[in-house]
């Protein structure tokens, strides 16, 4: 009888619908661009309207919906999130209760090792395994221990010979590290309970693709009374619509132009390739900043303020200014928790040279060439001799080594690939060259034309470095430069402009909107936020209608989900 009842229940369409709501579909992760997400968020707001006055109830409610969000995004990888929360909460308690500095350092070290080991396994285990086989000449099969654990304990069917990167692991790991370090530095007080800590780590708007939230910027908000002004509500809606528009623009130019260029550059002229390179700069900005705009808007509706992650980065007139405007949460995290502890721009440290050694090891493993070890050792000896006998060289090396290390590690944060190491190294060199340029030419022209020239130069350099960031391998990079050097195709320029007139027009409009002065942007943002509610509702409905009309049927995953 019970079997018949169960079979009847499973065949019930309502039951199937409920089951699908709570099931994880690896082929369809939950993102801001899914209609399901906005149904989910509507339910969240409904529940939130009941609990928002009570801090503990609010925290528990948002923690539970954040767990649900991450499960719908990453399935049983939620175990890693739970481990990070539990591990760092109790290690944080250890730091706060420790009587001696030595014990505090011990708990801090254990936390950092656990976090980096977890991050390192999922981001680099496959890479180290392949490198080991390449160097030793073996063909040992890769074995994914986490997949085996999940298959055994939870009945999943992960392949044990493949390693899947959990969505958002780089983001929530860095957030958790920030709490432990801030607690050690006494910049924050310990959270009251593990529920508050879990909420800080996995608050769903910023969980899977940022912005990276530092403990001292967020924890103080948890126990504040809920506050959402009329203007805040309007600004939240603006950021959500703005983020949608950016993502749709990014997908349109990617599907209709950029992806084709980088997949098969040999099929295109140098002119088309150059347009694709600048188009990719616009795409990655619109894609990533679009996500964080939506995250900021969603968080604001729930009463929490996330930091701005992008400040019109292509208005930067130097590489230094660019990195103050681009992915600010990562740049500031690397500065606060890596660059300054290594010695900043004042001196090199033991940590600096350990990091350089680690990067050299990664390069050796990437190439599989052990003879590189002797070259790196010879370079190290030469640098030591130069710094010992030439004080000016020592000062210059100490001033710049931490900057280069930070950018190289920033490249490795994106993935274990030659592409990311070269991209990080080029950006590091760009920062160093700009510093040297400031010493040689210690002035800047106040003229508008000079600033425009420097903005275009900076954009060109940043776009040039992204050839390595976007390309699948060094062979593709070679094809791109071959097309630019030997097959420009200037005689086809009018055919190219006409043939791609729509997508190129979209790219031009995208850049022009980006370059609108901030004071004008603030005018129309504030005007929208200050609209009467009926007018705002009609505007939102009209905007959503237009955006869904423009939306591609092949929505692309957000670029930074892969990191």
Cis amide prior to 211 (ω within 30 degrees): yes
Claim to verify: residue 209 and residue 61 sit in the same structural domain = yes
Claim to verify: residue 249 and residue 264 sit in the same structural domain = yes
- Spacing of C-alpha 177 from chain mean position: 16
From first CA to last CA, the distance across the chain in angstroms is 50
Could you tell me the two tokens for 443?
């002035």
Could you tell me the two tokens for 381?
């000896």
Q: What is each CA distance from 365 to 143, 361, 373, 412, in whole angstroms?
A: 19, 6, 10, 13
Is 19 among the domain residues? no
Distance CA 332, CA 522 (A): 24
Predicted pLDDT of residue 109: 92
Is 252 among the domain residues? yes
Number of H helices and E strands in the chain, helices first, is: 26, 0
Is 4 among the domain residues? no
Series of mean pLDDT values for 10-residue runs along the chain (563 residues): 50 69 72 85 93 92 94 86 94 91 92 89 79 74 77 74 79 92 91 93 85 89 90 93 92 91 91 94 93 93 92 93 91 85 70 73 67 75 73 70 82 79 87 81 73 93 93 89 90 90 93 93 90 88 81 62 58
Is 2 among the domain residues? no
Predicted pLDDT of residue 6: 47
Distance CA 101, CA 302 (A): 38
Claim to verify: residue 112 and residue 142 sit in the same structural domain = yes
Helices (H), ranges, 368-447: 371-389, 391-414, 418-440
Q: Give the pTM.
A: 0.87
Domain that holds residue 103: 25-226
Is 131 among the domain residues? yes
Is 214 among the domain residues? yes
Number of domains the chain is built from: 3
Question: Rounded to the nearest 5 degrees, what angle is found at the Cα of 121, between the Cα atoms of 118 and 122?
Answer: 90
Contacts of 411 (CB under 8 A, 6+ apart): 420, 421, 422, 423, 424, 425, 427
């Amino acid at each position: 009888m019970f079997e018949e009842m169960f079979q009847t229940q499973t065949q019930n369409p309502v039951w199937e619908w409920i089951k699908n709501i709570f099931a994880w579909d690896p082929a369809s992760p939950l993102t801001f661009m899914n209609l399901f997400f906005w149904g989910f968020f509507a339910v969240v707001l409904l529940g939130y309207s009941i609990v928002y006055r009570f801090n503990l109830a609010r925290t528990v409610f948002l923690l539970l919906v954040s767990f649900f969000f991450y499960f719908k995004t990453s399935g049983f990888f939620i175990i890693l999130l739970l481990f990070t929360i539990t591990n760092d909460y109790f290690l944080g308690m250890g730091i706060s209760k420790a009587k001696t500095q030595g014990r505090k350092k011990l708990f801090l070290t254990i936390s950092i090792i656990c976090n980096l080991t977890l991050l390192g396994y999922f981001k680099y285990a496959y890479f180290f395994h392949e490198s080991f086989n390449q160097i030793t000449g073996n063909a040992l099969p890769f074995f994914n221990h986490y997949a085996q654990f999940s298959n055994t304990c939870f009945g999943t069917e992960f392949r044990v010979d493949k390693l899947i990167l959990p969505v958002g692991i780089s983001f929530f790991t860095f957030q958790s590290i920030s709490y432990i370090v801030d607690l050690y530095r006494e910049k924050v007080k310990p959270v009251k309970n593990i529920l508050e800590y879990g909420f800080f780590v996995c608050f769903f708007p910023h969980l899977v693709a940022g912005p990276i939230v530092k403990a001292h910027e967020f924890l103080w908000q948890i126990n504040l009374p809920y506050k959402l002004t009329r203007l805040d509500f309007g600004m939240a809606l603006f950021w959500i619509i703005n983020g949608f528009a950016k993502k749709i623009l990014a997908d349109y130019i990617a599907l209709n132009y950029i992806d084709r260029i980088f997949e098969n550059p040999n099929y295109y002229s140098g002119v088309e390739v150059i347009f694709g390179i600048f188009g990719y700069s616009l795409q990655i900005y619109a894609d990533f900043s679009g996500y964080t705009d939506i995250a900021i808007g969603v968080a604001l509706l729930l009463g929490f303020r996330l930091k701005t992650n992008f400040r019109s980065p292509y208005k930067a007139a130097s590489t230094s200014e660019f990195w103050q405007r681009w992915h600010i949460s990562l740049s500031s995290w690397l500065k606060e928790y890596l660059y300054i502890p290594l010695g900043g721009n004042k001196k090199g440290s033991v940590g600096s040279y350990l990091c350089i050694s680690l990067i050299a090891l990664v390069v050796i493993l990437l190439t599989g060439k052990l003879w590189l070890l002797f070259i790196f050792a010879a370079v190290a000896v030469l640098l030591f001799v130069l710094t010992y006998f030439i004080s000016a060289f020592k000062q210059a090396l100490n001033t710049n080594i931490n900057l280069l290390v930070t950018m190289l590690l920033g490249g490795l944060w994106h993935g274990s690939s030659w592409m990311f190491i070269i991209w990080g190294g080029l950006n590091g060199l760009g920062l160093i060259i700009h510093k040297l340029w400031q010493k040689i030419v210690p002035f800047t022209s106040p003229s508008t034309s000079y600033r425009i020239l420097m903005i275009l130069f900076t954009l060109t350099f940043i776009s040039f470095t992204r050839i390595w960031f976007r390309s699948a391998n060094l062979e593709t990079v070679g094809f791109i430069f071959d097309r630019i050097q030997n097959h420009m195709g200037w005689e086809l320029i009018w055919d190219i402009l006409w043939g791609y007139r729509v997508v190129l027009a979209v790219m031009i409009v995208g850049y022009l909107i980006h370059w609108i002065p901030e004071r004008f942007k603030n005018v129309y943002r504030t005007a929208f936020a200050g609209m009467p509610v009926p007018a705002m509702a009609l505007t939102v409905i009209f905007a959503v209608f237009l955006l869904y009309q423009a939306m591609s049927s092949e929505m692309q995953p957000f670029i930074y989900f892969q990191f």
